[in-house]
Structure 1
Amino acid sequence: MGSHRRKAPSGFDRGAGAVAVSLLSAAAAVLGAAGASAAPSAPAAPADDTRAEVDRLHTEAEQATEAYNKAEERTGALRGQVRRTQDRIARQQERVNELREALGSLAGAQYRSGGIDPSVALLFSDDPEDYLDKAAVLDRISEQQAGQLDELQDALRELGQERSEGAGKLVELEKSRKAVAAHKKTVETKLTEARRLLNSLTEADRAAYDRASRASRTDLPDLSGAVPASGRAGAAVAAAQSAVGKPYVWGANGPSGFDCSGLTQWSYAQAGVAIPRTSQGQRYAGRQVPLSQAQPGDLVTYRSDASHVGMYAGNGQVIHAPYPGAPVRYDPVGMMPIASVTRV
């Protein structure tokens, strides 16, 4: 009976087997490494990063816009102050000139009538009584001259103060003008960079971003049952609703385009109410109330620095001018962190 025992492997077979095992082990190691590297979540797509960066730039541009609006508002106020100061200086200078002219006339009259010693004049006078009458007049002229001299000194002192104040206002005005220019440059730089990034997107990604930017409510949402806080608040809401669909234009306060605080300021102006130009100023334009008590017409400011503002329209909606490329629209009141709710 033959033996069924397996033959011992030759040296060649043993070497081939070792190589095979080694190759399998190496393949397993490579596959394992590949599996391990694939385990973490995939990184964000470049388009997502670009969109996030564009949103950040728009936020920073809006903050710079509100700083620009504040500086521009201050510049306007200073221009008015400088103009009024210059008017006062002109009037005061005219008064000084009149006083000087009057004093000159009195001095001339006194010189012509009283140029010699009074006792000598009396001795040679043909009519002593007439002389005494003239002397009394001269005394009164001297008293009047002294009074007008005091008045002239006061007027000159006031004129100097007005000129000093005017010079200070002009210096402050120049600083404010420079601040306006600096903030304007910042806004334009941010928006230029945002446009550059948007233009770097593929056509499909750009279209998706544009759709998201315009994915808003420009139609009237259900605001039934929303009661304005006052008649003027109701008028302001109606004005804001009339602006829905108009473009965001930084630094603009209507009527063809708006930035965020420009929209709310313009809306209240249509109701006959003046409120500050900036979102930070509008935050304190009235009484602050809890969000739970918000009524149409209330101003809602956002972010910790109150750099964005919208108008509460009712039923959890605000009307606001979001950012460049997005029109005035309705959005949920909780679209970003709320800083305050202000009832004007």
Structure 2
Amino acid sequence: MARATVLSAAATAAAVISAVPVLAEPGAPPADSAGAAREVDRLFADAERAVEAYNGTAERVETLRTSFERQQDRVSRGQEAVNEARRALGSAAAAEYRAGGFEPTLVLMLSGSPETYLDHAAVLDRLGDRRVAGLRELLAAQRVLDQHRQEAEEQLSELTEEQASLARHKRAVQSRLATARRQYERLSDQERHARERADRAAERAAAPTAEHGKRARAGALPRAGAPVSGRAAAAVAAARGAVGLPYGWGQAGPDAFDCSGLIQWAWARAGVALPRTSQAQAGAGRRVALSDARPGDIVVYREDASHVAMYVGGGQMVHAPYPGAQVRYEAVDVMPVSSVVRP
């Protein structure tokens, strides 16, 4: 397969990522205000799970694309090796012809199937050592080239499948977000205004409330004054600097973030590489108790680890909560904590 052909196929496969959402309209909202608000929260959480599934597939696509490009480079180098071996044999044939002969063995060296000729020991006796070596080099280069071409084709096929999966995950995210937005719009004006006021209050919060202080003293929340390392301090500074920037699903900065994108980006500013998804980040370090959390630790929420935040001290965390909101401070116990991880 020529390099241009394979890369063209990859570009065609990448085009599937621009799919549009399709899912059914949700049912009627719950009758009571509290139930309606819970339903909206549930739908946003469902959308966030879809976002993390998208992030995981996007990470695999990028890995496969990088591997495929490396394989294409190997194919190019292999083709050049084959061409060089053929040029060397061609030079030998030209020299033989100028010397007044053109042995059948040289014709076979330059044929499309020299393997057949090499299978006969009698022929090897008739070839000089240099000719045998040249022919073997050509055969070896051709085998390597064929292998790399086969591997490139297999990687292209896998890449195409993952890109199609990425498109499906994108449709799932878009449809779940649309469902959550429709449900939000069905809330009464009073309910929406109350939620918006709560969001604004959460965005302004930069210190624990009195109730948080009571719970911290009781040992439910982290103790104040825990030491923080240089890298953790840099990660916290980056996360704090992102406060006020918009949530953007599938984005890891610097201008918008989803929950795991914020954590990955903040720690990258500190020189630490973390995986892309919240589930992978939940296993990217040593687990500690919530009461022992230090600034920079990753706070993992929900049993399926579909949301993450960064603990920044004082019973507070910074996170990208959901679409339509901004990166903000909130109490670390605003949702059930499933684990705390120290990178």
TM-score range with shorter-chain normalisation?
0.7 to 0.9
Deviates more, 1:314-323 or 1:217-226: 217-226
Residue aligning to 1:257: 256
Distance in 2 of aligned mates of 1:143 and 1:68: 58
| Correspondences of 1:109-124 after superposition (within 5 Å) | 109-113=95-99, 115=101
Q: Does 1:290 align with 2:289?
A: yes
Asked if structure 1 preserves the Cα contact closer than 8 Å seen for 2:300 and 2:340, the reply is yes
Higher RCO (Cα < 8 Å, 6 or more apart): 2
Q: CA deviation at 1:145?
A: 1.6
Residue aligning to 2:240: 241
Correspondent of 1:221 among 197, 207, 211 = 207
Asked if structure 1 preserves the Cα contact closer than 8 Å seen for 2:296 and 2:311, the reply is yes
Q: CA deviation at 1:110?
A: 2.8
Asked if structure 2 preserves the Cα contact closer than 8 Å seen for 1:275 and 1:285, the reply is yes
Q: CA deviation at 1:335?
A: 2.4
| Correspondences of 1:175-214 after superposition (within 5 Å) | 175-214=161-200
> Secondary structure, in 3 states, of the residue corresponding to 2:204?
coil
Correspondent of 1:148 among 129, 134, 139 = 134
Q: Does 1:172 align with 2:171?
A: no
Asked if structure 2 preserves the Cα contact closer than 8 Å seen for 1:300 and 1:311, the reply is yes
> Secondary structure, in 3 states, of the residue corresponding to 1:214?
helix
Deviates more, 1:231-240 or 1:217-226: 217-226
Asked if structure 2 preserves the Cα contact closer than 8 Å seen for 1:60 and 1:190, the reply is yes
Distance in 2 of aligned mates of 1:217 and 1:305: 26
Residues 172-203 of structure 1, C-alpha deviations (whole Å, 9 max, x = no match): 11111111111111111111111112222232
Residue aligning to 1:331: 330
Residue aligning to 2:52: 66
Q: CA deviation at 1:107?
A: 2.4
Asked if structure 1 preserves the Cα contact closer than 8 Å seen for 2:206 and 2:316, the reply is no
Asked if structure 1 preserves the Cα contact closer than 8 Å seen for 2:299 and 2:339, the reply is yes
Correspondent of 1:161 among 134, 140, 147 = 147
Distance in 2 of aligned mates of 1:214 and 1:102: 75
Q: CA deviation at 1:68?
A: 0.6
CA 140–116 in structure 1, closer or farther in 2 if over 3 Å, else same: closer
> Secondary structure, in 3 states, of the residue corresponding to 1:311?
strand
Q: CA deviation at 1:111?
A: 4.2
Asked if structure 1 preserves the Cα contact closer than 8 Å seen for 2:316 and 2:331, the reply is yes
Q: CA deviation at 1:284?
A: 1.9
Asked if structure 1 preserves the Cα contact closer than 8 Å seen for 2:205 and 2:330, the reply is no
Distance in 1 of aligned mates of 2:267 and 2:94: 63
Distance in 1 of aligned mates of 2:81 and 2:257: 47
Opposite residue 48 of structure 1, the aligned amino acid is A
Residues 15-36 of structure 1, C-alpha deviations (whole Å, 9 max, x = no match): xxxxxxxxxxxxxxxxxxxxxx
Opposite residue 259 of structure 2, the aligned amino acid is C
Correspondent of 1:86 among 67, 72, 85 = 72
Q: CA deviation at 1:227?
A: 4.0
Residue aligning to 1:120: none
Q: Does 1:100 align with 2:86?
A: yes
Asked if structure 2 preserves the Cα contact closer than 8 Å seen for 1:218 and 1:245, the reply is no
Distance in 2 of aligned mates of 1:66 and 1:108: 63
Residue aligning to 1:12: none
Opposite residue 53 of structure 2, the aligned amino acid is A
TM-score (norm 1): 0.75
Aligned residues: 280
> Which consecutive unaligned segments of at least 5 residues does structure 1 have?
1-43, 118-138
Residues 283-331 of structure 1, C-alpha deviations (whole Å, 9 max, x = no match): 1222222222211111111112111101111232211111123221222
Distance in 1 of aligned mates of 2:130 and 2:41: 75
Distance in 1 of aligned mates of 2:227 and 2:65: 37
| Correspondences of 1:299-310 after superposition (within 5 Å) | 299-310=298-309
Distance in 2 of aligned mates of 1:303 and 1:99: 61
Q: CA deviation at 1:277?
A: 1.1
Distance in 2 of aligned mates of 1:156 and 1:221: 68
> Secondary structure, in 3 states, of the residue corresponding to 2:341?
strand
> Secondary structure, in 3 states, of the residue corresponding to 1:115?
coil
> Secondary structure, in 3 states, of the residue corresponding to 2:310?
strand
> Secondary structure, in 3 states, of the residue corresponding to 2:192?
helix
Opposite residue 74 of structure 1, the aligned amino acid is R
Asked if structure 2 preserves the Cα contact closer than 8 Å seen for 1:106 and 1:141, the reply is no
Distance in 2 of aligned mates of 1:78 and 1:84: 10
Q: CA deviation at 1:141?
A: 8.6
Deviating beyond 4 angstroms after TM superposition, the runs of 4 or more aligned structure 1 residues are 222-225
Residues 207-245 of structure 1, C-alpha deviations (whole Å, 9 max, x = no match): 122223333143432699544542101100011011112
CA 306–116 in structure 1, closer or farther in 2 if over 3 Å, else same: closer
Which structure: larger Rg? 1
